[in-house]
Amino acid sequence: MTPRPERVGNGTSLRHKLIVAVAYLARIRHRSAGKLVKLAGATAASAGAPLPAPGPPAASLDGVTASLDHFGEWPVWRLEPEGGAACAHKLIYFHGGAYIAQMASFQWSWIATLVRELGCCALVPLYPLAPRGTAAFVIPEATDLVAQALASGASVSVIGDSAGGGLALAVTQELVRRGGAQPAHLLLIAPWLDVTLSDPRSLSIDDPLMTVDSLRWSGRQWAGALDPADGRVSPLFASMEGLPPVTVFAGTRDVLYPDTARLEQRSRDEGMTMAFVIMPGLIHGWPVFTFLPEARDALPRIVKIFEGFQ
């Protein structure tokens, strides 16, 4: 039987409150739609050019080395502990960014922290962003990448945050459809599981970082020629049978939180092996913001998930 989700904490940190206040003052949520249109336009204009391969900021790599490789046309960064220690377990991290933005510095810092804490390797594929890259194209390629890592015999876990969480789940579902090896674990951080944001509860959440309208626009770019409600685009609507163990972290002050709530309900109804860690009042993607006390508190829990595979 799937355990009930943990709801941790009775309030948010001062630093979290400061981030929320700054977001409102900067009116991030009101500028987001225009910003996304510009990002997508620039990505569309780059069609035919090599995919960009922006690397991790040096400040995020204390104790970690980064090297660039490629999987087909995709740039793939490999992070590993300094000193070349043997990596018995691999993480494959699909980053968030509404499917149209590259990795941010805090995301690099977070995955580098996991590498440093676990002494493991992490592969960070810079998949094609929408509208150049869409679900119908990216998911099969990303699945091939994970399947190749699994074929080496290594223990592999898949991680994704936000849009990357949706991609990580869709890729794992595709692995199930194909048959064969599965990741040891699937970790989803504030996953975007329904690009249509069809749950009316999303409209009632006071999210300082994102708006329903701008996300729906980005979701249509990711869908391309597919229906946005197609299970490949919105993996909440696809089968959950055969998945490896899944852990989901989320905060309730996030317009995507209702996706997690619906997945939680399905996990109970269908008896899936899923664990949920829910933080009341916290913003979207909070475990990835390494400067938050709440993220630092969550790190040992996340590390413990993967320590069993070392």
Say which CATH number the domain at 221 has: 3.40.50.1820
For residues 267 and 188, give the distance between their C-alpha atoms in angstroms, rounded to a whole number. 14
At 167, the pLDDT band (50, 70, 90 cuts) reads very high
Does the residue 28 lie in any domain?
no
Does the residue 18 lie in any domain?
no
pLDDT at 203 over 80: yes
For residues 167 and 3, give the distance between their C-alpha atoms in angstroms, rounded to a whole number. 24
Does the residue 224 lie in any domain?
yes
Residues whose CB falls within 8 Å of the CB of residue 107, separated by 6 or more in sequence, listed in order:
95, 96, 161, 288
Question: Scanning the structure block, which residue is given the tokens 């993996």?
Answer: 235
Q: What is the pLDDT of residue 277?
A: 97
Does the residue 30 lie in any domain?
no
CB atoms within 10 A of CB 22: 11
Q: What is the pTM of this model?
A: 0.92
Q: What is the pLDDT of residue 7?
A: 47
Does the residue 9 lie in any domain?
no
For residues 162 and 167, give the distance between their C-alpha atoms in angstroms, rounded to a whole number. 9
Share of the chain above pLDDT 90, in %: 79
Does the residue 303 lie in any domain?
yes
Total domains in the chain come to: 1
Q: What is the pLDDT of residue 4?
A: 47
Mean pLDDT along residues 297-304: 96
Does the residue 258 lie in any domain?
yes
Q: What is the pLDDT of residue 48?
A: 75
pLDDT at 34 over 70: no
Return the minimum-mean-pLDDT range out of 2-11, 51-60, 251-260: 2-11
Question: Scanning the structure block, which residue is given the tokens 């990002």?
Answer: 39
Query: Degrees (nearest 5) of the Cα angle 227, 197, 226?
Result: 10
For residues 239 and 259, give the distance between their C-alpha atoms in angstroms, rounded to a whole number. 15
Mean pLDDT along residues 237-252: 97
Mean pLDDT along residues 45-61: 86
Nearest one of 209, 206, 173, 191 to 276, comparing CA atoms = 191
In tens, the pLDDT along 114-157 reads 999 999 999 999 999 999 999 999 999 999 999 999 998 889 99
DSSP H helices, 133-192, are 135-151, 163-178
Query: Degrees (nearest 5) of the Cα angle 138, 144, 148?
Result: 150
Q: Where are the beta strands (DSSP E) in the chain?
A: 6-7, 64-71, 74-81, 89-94, 121-125, 155-161, 186-189, 246-253, 274-283
For residues 155 and 211, give the distance between their C-alpha atoms in angstroms, rounded to a whole number. 38
Owning domain of residue 290: 61-307
Does the residue 74 lie in any domain?
yes
